[in-house]
Chain A
Amino acid sequence: MPEHTIEVDNLHLWRGDRHVLRGVSFTVVRGGCLEVCGANGAGKTTLLRALCGLVYPEQGRILWNGEDVRHDLPAFHAALAYLGHEPPLKADLTARENLHYWIGVRRHLERSELDAALARVGARSWCEQLARTLSAGQRRRVALAGLTLLAVPLWLLDEPTTNLDGEGRALVAELVREQLARGGIVVAAVHQGLPSSVPNVTRLDLAA
């Protein structure tokens, strides 16, 4: 079976005068998880944004399944889910509406799927509340529900466990484990490291 792989080859990136990424290289194959560690300002977020094609790397290549992602960015984007620092939620929509629009723009969504995903992250009781009334941890959970609904092979997660309680962190670990088990790939920028229950983790340290 063809393997999903993401391969980064000698990535360099400058922000203004600052040489942020200095020759980053790695390969992650299906079922693998890469944990990107480093102090604040080491370029974790920049690396993730470069991986998904938001930031243009001045040097180096990113290969998805052996193809340079720049050859067909829309196809690559269709295969990935990116979660930034903040969950991408509209304050004036409910949790459910947020998912309906956010995921609906990308794929057809059945109501039952939406219900199941909301229940999965423990949002059943508050999914009709406006996002502005939710706590940071609850919003993070809605974002996790969106992640599972997208059902794509590549997850790029920026600090996925921020603002989550112990139960929430366990949920992240479980979702990541499932994603790896079905042959997906996870790249996560983490300050403290992923929960130890996640298998197949490779660590990448970025120097500040």
Chain B
Amino acid sequence: MNWTWFHRLASPPHVYALAARLTRWFAWPAALCIAAGLWGGLVLAPPDYLQGDGFRILYVHAPSAWMSLMVYVTMAGAAAIGLIWRMKVAHAVAASCAPIGASFTVAALVTGALWGQPMWGTYWEWDPRLTSELVLLFLYLGYMGLRAGIEDPQRADRASAMLAVVGVVNVPIIHYSVTWWNSLHQAPSVMRLAKPAMPLGMLVPLLLMLLGFTLFFIALLLTRLRGEVLARERTASWIREVVRA
């Protein structure tokens, strides 16, 4: 089979140029979606009959929680590709994912705590969803810690990739065990989306926010990826041409 197109696609200069070109195609739609979602969620949607206006933090919390998991899966997928096919760019993608994912996780934890105050009367409740989210944060921190701890860049790439793969296998087990541990609390709100329990006026802004956050993540990822590629290829000759241009 002819793999040249694949290798050309994955070559650092090409990835750098491609990422630069694609970023705006994700950044602007992300901004539009998030603006529309926020307007719909914070202004148009009616107050919840139980929680009043307090529920509106959902429009940030749920997409953040969703993204924290999706970024982890993306990271593990990129890591696995890097591990199996020894693609350096895949490792760069995984490395770029980690801080973004950790930030989404922190956002989900903070908004969850803020939401907890009006709902439960306390900032922190050992609810399975929040607990899993906290464990996810530790998984991200472990990944970044391992990457930072190994001096040789190739070994750092491969060892942290291994960890991401092990982590993604464990995420469902951890989630299951935590749910098992405390099955008394409400079901996760993303799950509730599957049922038509939410009125359309609340649901549409939420879906817009989800889409907006996903696009925002891709735009961020592409930007970070460029930085990562530059740092990794700092001695390569094509960098000099890019910098001069």
Tell yes or no: A17 within 8 A of B by CB: yes
Q: Which residues of B have CB within 8 Å of A74?
A: none
Q: For window 190-245 of chain B, which residues contact chain A by CB distance below 8 Å?
A: 234-235
Tell yes or no: B86 within 8 A of A by CB: yes
Q: Per DSSP, are chain A's interface residues mostly helix, strand or loop, or mixed?
A: loop
What residue of chain B has the Cβ atom nearest to residue A18's Cβ? Answer: B235
Task: Please classify how large the interface on chain A is, using the bins under 10, 10 to 19, 20 to 34, 35 or more.
Answer: under 10
A16 x B86 contact (CB < 8 A): no
Q: For window 14-33 of chain A, which residues contact chain B by CB distance below 8 Å?
A: 15-17
B86 x A15 contact (CB < 8 A): no
A56 x B86 contact (CB < 8 A): yes
Q: For window 21-68 of chain A, which residues contact chain B by CB distance below 8 Å?
A: 56, 58
Tell yes or no: B154 within 8 A of A by CB: yes
Residue in B86, B152, B154 whose Cβ sees the most chain A Cβ within 10 Å: B154
Q: Give the residue of A15, A56, A58 whose beta carbon is less than 8 angstroms from that of B152.
A: A15
What residue of chain B has the Cβ atom nearest to residue A15's Cβ? Answer: B152
Alpha-carbon separation in the docked complex, A145 to B27 (Å)? 65
What residue of chain A has the Cβ atom nearest to residue B235's Cβ? Answer: A17
Q: For window 141-180 of chain B, which residues contact chain A by CB distance below 8 Å?
A: 152-154
Alpha-carbon separation in the docked complex, A152 to B234 (Å)? 44
Q: Which residues of B have CB within 8 Å of A16?
A: 152-154
Q: Which residues of B have CB within 8 Å of A58?
A: 86
Alpha-carbon separation in the docked complex, A168 to B153 (Å)? 39
Alpha-carbon separation in the docked complex, A16 to B152 (Å)? 7
Q: Which residues of B have CB within 8 Å of A15?
A: 152, 154
Q: Which residues of A have CB within 8 Å of B153?
A: 16
What residue of chain A has the Cβ atom nearest to residue B152's Cβ? Answer: A16
Q: Which residues of A have CB within 8 Å of B152?
A: 15-16
Cβ of B89 to closest chain A Cβ, rounded Å: 14
Cβ of B156 to closest chain A Cβ, rounded Å: 10
Residue in A17, A56, A58 whose Cβ sees the most chain B Cβ within 10 Å: A17
Cβ of B152 to closest chain A Cβ, rounded Å: 6
Alpha-carbon separation in the docked complex, A80 to B234 (Å)? 38
Alpha-carbon separation in the docked complex, A58 to B86 (Å)? 9
Cβ of A47 to closest chain B Cβ, rounded Å: 17
Cβ of A128 to closest chain B Cβ, rounded Å: 39
Q: Which residues of A have CB within 8 Å of B154?
A: 15-16
Alpha-carbon separation in the docked complex, A17 to B152 (Å)? 10
Q: Which residues of A have CB within 8 Å of B235?
A: 17
Cβ of A82 to closest chain B Cβ, rounded Å: 19
Cβ of A37 to closest chain B Cβ, rounded Å: 26
Q: Which residues of A have CB within 8 Å of B234?
A: 17
Alpha-carbon separation in the docked complex, A132 to B123 (Å)? 58
Alpha-carbon separation in the docked complex, A15 to B234 (Å)? 14
Cβ of A70 to closest chain B Cβ, rounded Å: 11
Cβ of B3 to closest chain A Cβ, rounded Å: 15
What would be 6 A-B contacts, judged by CB atoms less than 8 Å apart? A15-B154, A16-B152, A16-B153, A17-B235, A56-B86, A58-B86
Q: Which residues of B are interface residues toward A (Cβ below 8 A)? A: 86, 152-154, 234-235
Q: 7 extra interchain contacts, Cβ-Cβ under 8 A, other than A17-B235, A58-B86?
A: A15-B152, A15-B154, A16-B152, A16-B153, A16-B154, A17-B234, A56-B86
